[in-house]
Amino acid sequence: TYIGSIVASVNPYKSIPGLYDCTAVERYSKHHIGEIAPHIFAVANECYRCLWKRHDNQCILISGESGAGKTESTKLILKFLSAMSQHSLELSCREKTSCVEQAILES
């Protein structure tokens, strides 16, 4: 669930198909936080948008007990940010522009 721009999540201790695949990355990259179901990708997307649109430094704090999934959450955030960066680079190359911000705003 969301608490402002904070997502409180629970480790299901099992794999849930489709929860963190490329389709989920794409879905959350097209929505602002709170528009669709809570997800770690929504938090990562909000940080990414704020970084490029407002030029604000961003920080994601991941907290929890031992075994709660902090390392896995970090990997998922990095997966999302990597996918978004790659997408922005592809748009820039396709449009022959070096302006990454413009590519992000258009996606």
Supply the pTM of this predicted model. 0.77
pLDDT at 85: 83
* DSSP-derived secondary structure letter, 97: -
**Per-residue pLDDT tens over the stretch 6-60:** 888 887 788 899 999 999 999 999 999 999 999 999 999 999 988 888 888 888 9
Residue 42's closest CA among 96, 6, 88?
Answer: 6
Q: What is the DSSP letter of 81?
A: H
Domain segments of the chain: what residues?
Answer: 2-106
Q: Partners of 24 in the beta sheet?
A: none
What's the confidence (pLDDT) of residue 55?
83
- Whether pLDDT at 92 is above 80: no
Cα end-to-end span (Å), the chain = 26
In sequence order, the 6+-apart residues with CB closer than 8 A to the CB of 24 are: 18, 39, 41
65 is annotated as contributing to ligand binding: yes
User: Is 18 annotated for ligand binding?
Assistant: no
Task: Tell whether residue 70 is among the known ligand binding residues.
Answer: yes
Q: Which of 52, 64, 57 is nearest to 99 (CA)?
A: 52
* Contacts of residue 61, Cβ cutoff 8 Å, sequence gap at least 6: none
> Could you tell me which CATH number the domain at 2-106 has?
3.40.850.10
Residue pLDDT, tens place only, 56-87: 888 899 998 888 889 999 999 999 999 988 87
